[in-house]
Amino acid sequence: MINSNIRYIIKVTISNFLLLLSSVLTGFLLPKIMSLSDYGYYKTFTLYIAYSAIFRFGIVDGIYLRYGGVSYENLNISLFKFYSFFLIAFESCISIIMLAISLLFLENNLKYIFAFVSIYIWTFNITSYYQTLSQITKRFDELAHRNTYQALLNIVVIISLCFLYTYSYVDVSYKIYIFLYTLIQFALSIWYLFTYKEISFGLLSNIHFEFGKIFSLAKIGIPLLLANICSTLLLNLDRQFVNINFSAETYAKYAFAYNLLTLVTICTSAVSTIIYPILKRSNYDSMKDKYSYLVSLLLILVLACIGLYFPLCVFIEYYLPQYEYSLLIFKIIFPGIAFTSVVTVVIHNYYKTYGMNSLFMIISIVILFISLVSNIVVYKLWV
């Protein structure tokens, strides 16, 4: 069992290393080939797609909780075929409605950004459904392959845009990259449909009966969804304030500092991906023994990465001098990632395993409220 878990960690870590490489290229090359305002608009897109999970309304989260630790061979294929049909149709309706609203009521850059946010919502939520199946059934090969394909395709896109920038001598528009990025995500979601074709296609039966199970999944999944959304809002709240109240250029510098944190968060996500199904299959005493070990391992990993600040200073001052101000922000927020990682990667998974999602949701809402008040007070006093 331990050897199997280590093998899973290695597979996911390798794929996450490629994602890390892709993120490094994206994080350092895009600001170089884009103007400040274009990079700010691109980061506005990434800010709002972070809320895509809201539109799955707890259904995928309910599947995650109800079926966590179940092997793929023991899944009810007929039932999951209905789940697939419902989610594809439901997310399609949501995306079409949001796309129509974006095109009819928004203008200029916001129209373009939110049009692609609408499309991304579909591909993200469909992909998250199949990734959840991979995760709960411990089929980490599909998850690792998907991450690998995503990383490689994104690397090809970034290198191609850099080639275009070098030989055309013009800044690359954020519109080009958002289009290509969304296209990659959409193609990979279609790949997932065919990877799990057994539950993606075919005739349905007893549809009227299965709708009750959709509501049941939403009921148990909404507390987890809200807890996750609160965590996302907590991490994004200050960026949201800057995005709304300042120019695209100012937001670009602020968002660039947070973008550097992906160097750490991608490393920790390998542990986060497999920890829930492992805990779900563990007994109470074993879980208690693992807690201190997991927290210590994560703190060592994250705190060791703080040393990255010093070479980053030299690199950014030389390579991206227009983002030098971002280093001050980065220096302030970097140590905090150690504590947020422990909460999101370890503590949250323990709450999920013990079935205490409602309590975690309440705690998250209280913390989010305190953070919101703090941001408002700071904004009013110093801006």
Model confidence over 299-311: pLDDT tens digits? 777 777 777 777 8
Q: Are 108 and 116 in contact (CB under 8 A)?
A: no
Q: Are 323 and 31 in contact (CB under 8 A)?
A: yes
Helix axis angle for 59-67 and 77-105, nearest 10°, is 150
Among residues 61, 52, 51, which one has the least CA distance to residue 220?
A: 61
| Rounded Cα–Cα distance for residues 306 and 85 (Å) | 45
| Rounded Cα–Cα distance for residues 140 and 126 (Å) | 17
- pLDDT for 9: 61
| Rounded Cα–Cα distance for residues 128 and 31 (Å) | 28
Among residues 65, 62, 55, which one has the least CA distance to residue 91?
A: 55
The H or E element spanning position 204 is none
Query: For residue range 245-293, what is the model confidence (pLDDT) as tens digits?
Result: 888 888 888 888 877 776 666 666 656 656 666 666 666 667 777 777 7
From first to last of its 383 residues, what are the pLDDT tens digits of the chain?
Answer: 445 555 656 666 677 777 777 877 888 888 888 888 899 999 999 989 988 988 988 888 888 888 877 777 788 888 888 888 899 999 999 999 999 999 999 988 999 999 999 999 999 999 999 988 888 877 777 777 788 888 889 989 999 898 888 887 767 889 999 999 999 999 999 998 888 888 888 766 665 567 788 888 888 888 888 877 887 787 778 888 888 888 888 888 888 887 777 666 666 665 665 666 666 666 666 777 777 777 777 777 777 777 777 787 888 888 888 888 887 787 777 777 777 777 777 777 777 777 777 788 788 788 888 888 887 887 777 76
The H or E element spanning position 359 is helix 357-382
Among residues 318, 261, 232, which one has the least CA distance to residue 32?
A: 318
CA distances from 321 to 32, 122, 326, 330 (A): 10, 37, 10, 15
Among all chains, which residue has been given the structure tokens 């991450």? 147
- pLDDT for 2: 47
